[in-house]
Chains A and B, each alone.
Chain A
Amino acid sequence: MSRMNRDAWLAVFLLLFTGFMFWASFEIREPDYGVLAPSVWPRVILIIFGFLATLLLVQSLRAGPGTIDEGEKDRPSSVKGYLVYWRNPIVCFGLFAAYLALLPVLGMLIDGMAFVFALLGALGGWTPRNMAIHAAVAVITVGGMWSLFTFGLNVLLPTGMLIPGL
């Protein structure tokens, strides 16, 4: 265990993933026709992937613990530190997930504006001046894009339950 580093843990995870997917490949039905069964190609890929993951494990174990790539030296080691360090990407993913969850309710136009506004606020700060600018940017850009898709490209974007038609 003392030789484990980040890549070694990653390789172990990827080996488990390979094993799981290989097991899942036995769920693929085999038809009576065709020369190449549908499960063969994924299994070939998984065997190669598993071999490479093993190679990565050996490579990282040989490198030993504490092997840090350039540019990673300032990265935190505690969970709290990680959350602070990755705050912006986590907020972006969270807001995007919320945007998708609310899409059937708010519709693409309002949901899009709300998402851009919330993201701008989360990344740029919530001062009154910022909020006014962010609201204007969200309305103009999302409204513009929505109009372009709806009227210019005739794409039917999803409407919401809240305000039918929008």
Chain B
Amino acid sequence: MIIENIMLAFGEVLTLKTVLLMTLGVAGGLIAGAIPGFTIAMAVVLTLPFTFSMPPSQGLATMVSVLVGGLSGGLMAGILTGIPGTPSSVATTFDGFPMARNGKPGLALGLGVWSSFCGGMISAVLLVTLAPQLARVGLEFQPWDYFMLVMFALTITASLAGKNIVKGLMAGALGLLVRTVGEDEAAGMARFDFGSDMLLGGFDFIAVLIGLFAFSQLLNDVRDPEMARKSLSEASPVKARIEHRNAIREIAKRWIIVVRSAFIGTFTGILPGAGGSVANILAYDQAKKSSRHPEKFGTGIPDGVIAPESSNNAVEGGALITMMALGIPGDVTTAVMLGALLIHDVVPSPTFITEEPVLAYSIFIAFFIANFIMLFLQSGMLRVFILVTRIRMYFLAAVILGFCGMGVFALNNVASDLWTLLWFGILGFLMRHFGFPLAPMILGVVLGNIAELNLARALAINESLLPFFTRPWALFFLIIALFSAMFPWFQTARGRKKWTLFYLPVACFAACVPLAMMAWQNSSVPRGVIAVIVVTSGAYILAQRWRSGWSLEAHAGHELSES
């Protein structure tokens, strides 16, 4: 059955039209990723209107291609100009740019391209193997568990997205509130319509996403009149040829870094809220810590390019695992893809892979193929990138704003969506200005209905609120949500306040309670083993801290540095 589904999915993806669209998608993603200020999420959001008229598998394959292209595009700008194209390629510039300045731009680009490819492929393998397993676990979820999972996704995104957790949580709550405007799905009653037909219909959430993310970002990019009139590269054209052979040789010598970084990337991607911007720094930091010559990092060594590039391309595989297996987007880009699935009347949930196997495998296959297309296109796109760097910022902003208008109208063929775009563009701009992260709000908008529907279902089954605290999965998500909400305070106080010494052990002890409950209720040996490992880890950390005399200094100074 699986083979049959895979073959059918290959048939869907490997049509001339789909491959052509995927190639265009990768090319577009590479260019968008290479332009600082234009995020990958924005590129994926702007691709969405084009995919409406396509069959779901074709549309999603195109969006996956933009995503893969975007992840790889950031390295070109980072290596050649020293300005990372996307936040996920920040660490690439630490060694990529010095390497290019040391006269090896071709090798630096080659290392970046091939590491991206390897990271993407490892993550694709993990996606294919882990997503169905995680979906099987997800089938155990009841409405209480699902509701708590959404709350966990919002909390962790809020805690990782900005400096101020309160603002992050407020953004998430605002996203949930925005979704309540209009008729409610369960009873069909009008909410917060204030007598307006436009509000009664609710906000189209794709228009909200484009407004919040793309519109507000563009206005931020052109805020400074001088910068708006500048192009990315005012200097003489950058000349480089990718050195494929040397790069492959260097990567083969450092395959451990590639595998480790790809795993870091994939597992960071699985965690909602932690995207490529976290993964590339984490992988760079790990490569530096495990290197025999950590002092050489930052001077232009291959390890410093391989680690971040392998990890940031692996992130989306991880984010897709969570989206496809549980219906929870791992980051903004997968939130948009989830939106694309909803437009095609496909609701991602734990049953998604079993109910829509061909579409699910099409996404897997598209992710694989897009990585190959990316590899072949990088050399050609290098020339286009050099041309793009000469375009002034305000040209791109004006043209894309014009496109936003058409794209959003095409959603439902109603002009009110364009007003939604404007209002949410203003809101997004103000939120950025006042230091509110947008990622939790976007997740709130995407997950708002899911949360409310599951709450309604849970209360329809049992009016008591007790199952939210007594069901193992619900309790598990509640505990990790609470600890992730406290994480920013822990990070700030680490090494200075005594209570931080107990944060991790207590988190382990608390998390092992629902795990032990699961093991007990389902007579599951693996979960029992996991519970024992978790509690042992907590005890070990506690013992270590006791041995060091509860010294704060021993646990300070683990922050990730960008040097």
- Whether chains A and B associate is yes
Measuring CB to CB, which residues of chain A are less than 8 angstroms from any residue of chain B?
6-7, 10, 14, 21, 24-25, 28-31, 33-39, 41-42, 45-46, 48-49, 52-53, 55-56, 59, 69, 86-89, 92-93, 96-97, 99-100, 103-104, 108, 112, 115-116, 119-120, 123-125, 137-138, 141-142, 145-146, 149, 153-158
Give the size category of B's interface with A.
35 or more
> Of A21, A36, A39, A108, which is within 8 A of B406 by CB?
A108
Please provide the chain B residues from 177 to 233 with a CB less than 8 Å away from any CB of chain A in the complex: 177, 180, 184, 186-187, 189-192, 194, 218-220, 222-225, 228-229
B392 adjacent to A124 (CB under 8 Å): yes
CB distance from B190 to the nearest CB of A (A): 7
CB distance from B415 to the nearest CB of A (A): 6
Classify the secondary structure of A's interface with B.
helix
CA distance A64 to B459 in the complex (A): 44
With contacts A36-B460, A116-B402, A123-B397 taken as known, whether A149 is within 8 angstroms of B410 at the C-beta atoms is yes
B170 adjacent to A52 (CB under 8 Å): yes
A46 adjacent to B177 (CB under 8 Å): yes
CA distance A25 to B190 in the complex (A): 10
B419 within 8 A of A: yes
CB distance from A69 to the nearest CB of B (A): 6
A96 adjacent to B425 (CB under 8 Å): yes
The residue in chain A whose Cβ has the minimal distance to the Cβ of B402 is A116
The residue in chain A whose Cβ has the minimal distance to the Cβ of B219 is A89
Which residues of chain A come closer than 8 Å to B451, judged between CB atoms?
41
CB distance from A111 to the nearest CB of B (A): 8
The residue in chain B whose Cβ has the minimal distance to the Cβ of A58 is B166
A120 adjacent to B166 (CB under 8 Å): no
A116 adjacent to B53 (CB under 8 Å): no
Query: For A33, A104, A123, A141, which residue has the most chain B Cβ atoms within 10 angstroms?
Result: A123
CB distance from B4 to the nearest CB of A (A): 32
Which residues of chain A come closer than 8 Å to B180, judged between CB atoms?
41-42, 45
A158 adjacent to B187 (CB under 8 Å): no
CA distance A153 to B54 in the complex (A): 9
Q: Mark B375-411, 1 if CB is under 8 A from A, else 0.
A: 0000000000000000010110111011101100110
CB distance from B232 to the nearest CB of A (A): 16
CB distance from A19 to the nearest CB of B (A): 14
CA distance A49 to B444 in the complex (A): 13
> Of B166, B191, B223, B401, which is within 8 A of A38 by CB?
B191
Which residues of chain B come closer than 8 Å to A153, judged between CB atoms?
50, 52-53, 410
B459 adjacent to A120 (CB under 8 Å): no
